[in-house]
Amino acid sequence: MGKKRRLLVAREEIAWFPVIDAESCNGCEACADFCRPGVFAPAAPEQDAVVARRSKMQVANPYDCIVLCTRCEPVCPSGAITLPDPRQFERYVEILDH
């Protein structure tokens, strides 16, 4: 039998979402390819960029992130993605037997 998560407050009241370190991000888009809810997207290219490079990634839809999901963090080859401490957010989620 599987487990199902239910939020105890509105999703917009829960500050659970990834943060991308722009210095570490290599723009590979592994996070966007992996994340089914569509949290990540390429950032707008820098206006002053002399050399054409891949766009860095951004958290475009933070509240589409599933609360307590940490699956994107290890997918990032450059280690640019961090998430908050899950223990601070467990109080917002009820685990139900499904």
pLDDT of residue 46: 65
Residue 83 CA to residue 80 CA, distance in Å, equals 10
Percentage of the residues of the chain whose pLDDT score is greater than 90? 79
pLDDT of residue 1: 61
pLDDT tens track for 59-72: 999 999 999 999 99
Domains and CATH numbers, the chain: 3-97 (3.30.70.20)
Percentage of the residues of the chain whose pLDDT score is greater than 70? 90
* Average pLDDT over the chain, rounded to an integer: 91
Range list of H helices, the chain: 30-34
pLDDT tens track for 36-63: 999 999 998 766 555 556 789 999 999 9
